[in-house]
Amino acid sequence: MAEEREDGAAMGGPTTMSVAEIAAFAADILETAGTAPANAQVMARSIAAAERDGIASHGLIYLPIYVEHVRCGKVDGRAVPGLVQPRPGVVVADAACGFAHPAIAAGAPLLIAAAHSQGVAVLAVRNSYNSGVLGHHTEAMAADGVVALGFTNAPATIAPLGGRTPVVGTNPFSLAVPDGAGGVALLIDQSASVIARSEVVKRHREGQAIPEGWVVDAEGQPTTDPEQILKGGTMAPSGGYKGVGIGILTEVMAAALTGATLGIDASPFSGPDGGPPRTGQMFLAIDPAATSGGAFARRIADLAAAITAQPGARLPGARRLEARARHDREGIAVSSDLLANIRASIP
Amino acid sequence: MAEEREDGAAMGGPTTMSVAEIAAFAADILETAGTAPANAQVMARSIAAAERDGIASHGLIYLPIYVEHVRCGKVDGRAVPGLVQPRPGVVVADAACGFAHPAIAAGAPLLIAAAHSQGVAVLAVRNSYNSGVLGHHTEAMAADGVVALGFTNAPATIAPLGGRTPVVGTNPFSLAVPDGAGGVALLIDQSASVIARSEVVKRHREGQAIPEGWVVDAEGQPTTDPEQILKGGTMAPSGGYKGVGIGILTEVMAAALTGATLGIDASPFSGPDGGPPRTGQMFLAIDPAATSGGAFARRIADLAAAITAQPGARLPGARRLEARARHDREGIAVSSDLLANIRASIP
């Protein structure tokens, strides 16, 4: 009993952890589940980075899903990504049915080098998996001085205008713009749907209702029940047909152009069934020094100033950076119940 | 009087014209206004192509604006675009304050060649102007076998979330996907706003009201009066902050990365004031053979089939192709009043 009183985890209260502590915890869990140490390190850093940026849906709450998928073979935790460069501006990474993150991390240095020498380059990733927070990948690329535009596809959940059957996933894209000092001037990371599917799944897990306008049920009616997305419902596209257009753009970039599996053919990102989803990612990197005649930094500063000069308006990505600074200062409050549940998810 | 009865133009009735007849008419008008013959040919073809595809807002109705801008010097009708290729994957076109179309047309063959040899290439256009129907440029590139992604910026008309002052234009992007037979499998061409600004201006010209949700007036209230866009109002972004995100993406690609003028600093695309807008365009071309491991054509066919299999759903771009086929068969009905007004716009 004394032990329970001392142990916040057993009592269910919040625990304050540092980014490094979260990463170490996640790496240990992933390795125990059967992930190769190098891959576990990459994935653990991504989970910690999501918690650091206040993106709970891709933080520790996702860890049991990664564990389940490594254990059931939906992800090969021991995969070693294969890299080829078939043209001067093209890097192709085969994730070999492992996590996306190690394949992206392996290909990024070649992508950056090619972007600087060629002016523009792409990294095409296939036989991959959910890439977590897309903006973390583009942000890392922008730190090396390129404008990075990323796309990742997902199992189909959005129906076309006039139809009922999903044809594209919520399919986010992300743009990271370098600030010339190793950081980002602005970061866009937005899905094709009104809201990311992971937010609906999170509400379902927590037993909460969702606002009307996020999900359309199987009969084409708006619903506030998050479970409908698991029962034949579809994600509402942002801005109607224009959201479908963004989803198709991303499907073309991340799946058709990479040779990955289309969202209509991919196994789900949740649950143990269907084998590896073999989805894909595409990253474009452009060297501003090659295209802008020296005007880039000034233009970005002027654009950013036009936004921040307005009270109430914020740069895309500002919320993440604020959460990051706060968490680095104060640590991150983590539910002890969640930590206990994660520990319980492995033998 | 007899002459008036015989002359449809003078009577105001509709006249049926072929695409070639519209192009010849437009070329004659543009040359008379002071456009160099080569530039006039390119612009005339673009006007005829807009009419052919049923995009009236960029068809003959736009011709008096082009004429006004050539005559007042907002566009240099005799400009010769300058081309350089500073890196293997980068083509930079300086439109020299002329029309965008000749600069894009001049750079496109270098872009396509670079995309095939490097796997990916970009065409950055600066000191440019309104590019008309963006999708016509990407479609022409896709006919040469590349996936073409285009961006064009415009004077700022969209405010950021939480602000009142415009920071980006309605800024369309366009994706053209080759069908492998000289045509496009699908074509996306959509603006960052709920509706293109040209549609609001067209309704204003025609004295019609606009639906609520297109424009926000200077006090931040929804309005059905198209004139509010000329009186400090802003264009509503599609899907709220996500539309602003698309606008910023396009501003970064088409202006910051090309060294063109930002939308916040550009002179208006309408009226004689402010000198050349010096806006820009960016086109990315990717060779699917370099990135997809041979899977591209099959993926695109499968994605397209998933959409067309649903009654009521259509591929992006289908409406244009239908109008094109109908107009090639039946000719294009043109208002004789419009033709007369255009003729009257030049001395």
**Please, what is the average pLDDT of chain A?**
93
Residue A117 shares a structural domain with residue A67: no
Rounded Cα distance, B1 and B3, in Å: 5
Average pLDDT over residues A173-187: 94
Residue identified by tokens 């799944």 is A201
The answer, for A303 touching chain B at a CB cutoff of 8 Å, is yes
Token pair of B284, please? 């990315």
Contact between residue B343 and residue B29 where contact means Cβ atoms under 8 Å apart: yes
Dihedral of the alpha carbons of B140, B145, B146, B152, in degrees to the nearest 10 = 10
The answer, for B150 touching chain A at a CB cutoff of 8 Å, is no
Query: Closest chain B residue to A309 measured between Cα atoms?
Result: B163
Query: Closest chain A residue to B91 measured between Cα atoms?
Result: A291
pLDDT in tens, A286-323: 999 999 999 999 999 999 999 999 999 999 999 999 99
Whether A5 has a pLDDT exceeding 80, the answer reads no
* Percent composition of chain B: helix, strand, coil (DSSP 3-state, to 5): 45, 20, 35
Band of pLDDT at residue A259, cut at 50, 70 and 90 = very high
Look at strands A120-128 and A90-94 and give their pairing.
parallel
Token pair of B184, please? 């496009």
List CB contacts (< 8 A) between B251 and chain A.
303
Token pair of A274, please? 């269907």
pLDDT in tens, B120-177: 999 999 999 999 999 999 999 999 999 999 999 999 999 999 899 999 999 899 999 9
Which amino acid does the sequence have at A153? N
Asked which of A12-21, A89-98, A147-156 is least confident by mean pLDDT, the reply is: A12-21
- Domain with B112 in it: what CATH number? 3.30.1370.60
Residue A10 shares a structural domain with residue A145: no
Whether A7 has a pLDDT exceeding 70, the answer reads no
Chain A with chain B: Cβ pairs closer than 8 A: 257
Rounded Cα distance, A58 and A22, in Å: 13
Rounded Cα distance, A264 and B23, in Å: 43
Confidence (pLDDT) at A274: 94
Q: Name the H helices within B1-133.
A: 2-6, 8-11, 19-33, 37-52, 63-72, 100-118
pLDDT in tens, A198-208: 889 889 989 99
List CB contacts (< 8 A) between A292 and chain B.
124, 256-259
Kindly report the nearest CA distance between residue B259 and chain A, in angstroms: 4
**Under an 8 A CB cutoff, do B259 and A296 touch?**
yes
Residue A283 shares a structural domain with residue A256: yes
Average pLDDT over residues B36-43: 98
DSSP state of A189: E
Token pair of A257, please? 């152009």
Confidence (pLDDT) at A12: 61
Catalytic, A57? Answer yes
List CB contacts (< 8 A) between B118 and chain A.
87-90, 118, 120
Residue A103 shares a structural domain with residue A154: yes
Whether A6 has a pLDDT exceeding 80, the answer reads no
Q: Which of residues 189-228 of B touch A (CB under 8 A)?
A: 190, 194
Residues 6+ apart with CB under 8 A from B114: B85, B88, B89, B90, B91, B121, B285
Residue B176 shares a structural domain with residue B125: yes
Average pLDDT over residues A184-213: 92
**Under an 8 A CB cutoff, do A249 and B121 touch?**
no
pLDDT in tens, B287-302: 999 999 999 999 999 9
Closest residue to B259, CB basis, from A87, A188, A292: A292
Average pLDDT over residues B309-327: 96
Residue A118 shares a structural domain with residue A49: no
Catalytic, A128? Answer no
Listing DSSP states for A34-95 in one string gives T--HHHHHHHHHHHHHHHHTT-GGGTGGGHHHHHHHHHHTSS-TT---EEEEEETTEEEEE-
Average pLDDT over residues B331-336: 96
Average pLDDT over residues A219-231: 91
- Classify residue B41: in a domain, yes or no: yes
Residue A11 shares a structural domain with residue A159: no
- Classify residue A41: in a domain, yes or no: yes
- Classify residue A212: in a domain, yes or no: no
- Classify residue A55: in a domain, yes or no: yes
Q: How many domains does chain B have?
A: 2
Whether A119 has a pLDDT exceeding 50, the answer reads yes
The answer, for A180 touching chain B at a CB cutoff of 8 Å, is no
Residue B52 shares a structural domain with residue B125: no
Rounded Cα distance, A144 and A113, in Å: 10
Residue A28 shares a structural domain with residue A88: no
The answer, for A317 touching chain B at a CB cutoff of 8 Å, is no
Whether B95 has a pLDDT exceeding 50, the answer reads yes
Band of pLDDT at residue A346, cut at 50, 70 and 90 = confident
Band of pLDDT at residue B11, cut at 50, 70 and 90 = low
> Exposed e or buried b for every residue in B180-211, given b needs 16+ CB within 10 A?
eeeebbbbbbbbbbbbbbbbbbbbbeeeeebe
Average pLDDT over residues A135-153: 98
- Domain with B42 in it: what CATH number? 1.10.1530.10
Angle at A218 between CA A214 and CA A220, to 5 degrees: 65
**Please, what is the average pLDDT of chain B?**
93
Dihedral of the alpha carbons of B270, B237, B315, A132, in degrees to the nearest 10 = 140
Confidence (pLDDT) at B13: 78
Question: pTM of the prediction?
Answer: 0.95
Token pair of B79, please? 């400009």
- Classify residue B323: in a domain, yes or no: no
Whether B69 has a pLDDT exceeding 80, the answer reads yes
3-state secondary structure of B118: helix
Residue B275 shares a structural domain with residue B259: yes
Long-range contacts of A7-15 (CB under 8 A, 24+ apart): A7/A336, A8/A336, A9/A336, A9/A337, A9/A339, A9/A340, A10/A336, A10/A340, A11/A336, A12/A335, A12/A336, A12/A337, A12/A340, A13/A336, A14/A333, A14/A334, A14/A335, A14/A336, A15/A333, A15/A334, A15/A335, A15/A336, A15/A339
Residues 6+ apart with CB under 8 A from B122: A119, A120, A286, A291, B89, B90, B91, B111, B282, B283, B284, B285
% of residues, chain A, pLDDT over 90? 85
Kindly report the nearest CA distance between residue B69 and chain A, in angstroms: 26
Residue A174 shares a structural domain with residue A31: no
Residue A247 shares a structural domain with residue A301: yes
Q: How many CB atoms within 10 Å of residue B328?
A: 12
Kindly report the nearest CA distance between residue B251 and chain A, in angstroms: 9
- Classify residue B222: in a domain, yes or no: no
Closest residue to A302, CB basis, from B241, B264, B294: B264
The answer, for B124 touching chain A at a CB cutoff of 8 Å, is yes
Task: Say what the ipTM of the complex is.
Answer: 0.94
Q: Name the H helices within chain B.
A: 2-6, 8-11, 19-33, 37-52, 63-72, 100-118, 134-142, 197-206, 241-251, 288-291, 296-308, 318-330, 336-344
- Classify residue B247: in a domain, yes or no: yes
- Classify residue A30: in a domain, yes or no: yes
Residue identified by tokens 């706003």 is B193
Structural domain harbouring A30: 1-72+331-347
